[in-house]
Amino acid sequence: MITVQVEGLAKTFFDEARGAIHAVDGVSFECRAGTIFGLLGANGAGKTTTLRMLATILRPTAGRARVMGHDVVAEPEVVRRSLGFYSASTALYPRLTARETLEFFARVNRYPRERVGARVDELVERFGIDRFESVRVEKLSSGMKQKVSIARTVVHDPPVLVFDEPTVGLDVINALEMQDVIRALRAEGKTIIFSTHVMSEAEKLCDTIVIIHGGRLLASGSLEEHRRATGKHYLEDIFVQYVREGG
């Protein structure tokens, strides 16, 4: 089942000194349920801008994007309820407790009111939040905040989940735990869009890998398809070849 469709998506910013900046330039792709779709690119490649357009945070300059059949421009509220967005830089409200945070985001995303309590209980147990569920976010460690952030992302049980460089700043143990969470969500049938510039993460996790550079999509396929196309084995070498040929 196709859950995300992107057609010719573009975003142009205007700078007084540099003029038009094409952050995303005609990107097209599709994502399916139960798969991890990797957006691979260096910093500034256009990954985050693309994901922010999907999440209705930014309005596209051109092109179209649909999440679960809903247009991101025409139906932004429905899209937001169908999608969970996680980023290492996503802020939590410091004065709310961990439990209050989950309850708040469940209600904001219109999760059925009568089921909020049970849903929060489920996630508190699943992510090991029970030990600090009554502690304010401002007093939590970085690892604890990460767990709350993940739970916040999935609390309304959306079919599509976006992880934008989720392991930035994490130690090895927490980064591996994040990868386990993403695999488990795929097993539940979720569509996972995973943005990273860490090649080893993409090799381990992604069913489909898209190479994006300078706002343009250079290549798309499975890791094995990329290996056959380039004659290279390691994703790092594959990425460099695509960038050199398409840059």
Are residue 37 and residue 150 in the same domain, yes or no? no
CA-to-CA distance for 74 and 51, rounded, in angstroms? 17
Q: Same structural domain for residues 56 and 17? A: yes
- pLDDT of the residue at 172: 86
Q: How far apart are CA 82 and CA 7, in angstroms?
A: 19
- Of 157, 185, 205, the last residue of a domain is 157
Q: Rounded distance, CA 82 to CA 67, Å?
A: 7
Determine the Cα–Cα distance for residues 57 and 65; give it in Å rounded to an integer.
Answer: 13
Task: Clarify whether residues 24 and 49 are in a common domain.
Answer: yes
207 & 238 share domain: yes
Q: How far apart are CA 166 and CA 184, in angstroms?
A: 15
Residue 203 sits in a domain whose CATH number is 3.40.50.300
Q: How far is CA 152 from CA 6, 120, 145, 204, in A?
A: 26, 9, 10, 25
Residue 66 domain boundaries: 2-82+160-246
Same-domain check for residues 202 and 240: yes
Query: How do beta strands 70-71 and 62-67 pair?
Result: antiparallel
- Residue (of 207, 185, 176) closest to 38 by Cα position: 207
Do 100 and 167 share a structural domain? no
**Is there a single domain that holds both residue 242 and residue 172?**
yes
CB atoms under 10 Å from CB of 137, counted, come to 20
pLDDT at residue number 208: 96
Domain count across the chain = 2
173 plus 232 within the same structural domain: yes
Q: Give the global pTM.
A: 0.91
Question: Do 27 and 9 meet the contact criterion of CB atoms below 8 Å apart?
Answer: yes
Cβ(86)–Cβ(153) under 8 Å?
A: yes
- Residue 153 sits in the same domain as residue 52: no
- Rg from Cα positions in the chain: 18
> Which domain-ending residue is among 157, 180, 195?
157
Q: Residues 164, 242: one domain?
A: yes
Q: Would you state the pLDDT for residue 247?
A: 62
218 sits in which H/E element: strand 216-221
21/23 Cα distance (integer angstroms): 6
Mention every residue, 6+ apart, whose C-beta is less than 8 A from residue 124. Answer: 98, 99, 102, 130, 133, 151
The tens-digit pLDDT sequence of the chain (247 residues) is 999 999 999 999 987 777 788 899 999 999 999 999 999 988 888 999 999 999 999 999 999 999 999 999 999 999 999 999 998 777 799 999 999 999 999 999 999 999 999 999 999 998 889 999 999 999 998 888 888 999 999 999 999 999 988 887 778 888 888 889 899 999 999 999 999 888 889 999 999 999 999 999 999 999 999 999 999 999 999 999 999 887 6
Is there a single domain that holds both residue 164 and residue 153? no
Last residue of a domain, one of 100, 123, 157: 157
| Whether residue 153 sits in one domain with residue 177 | no
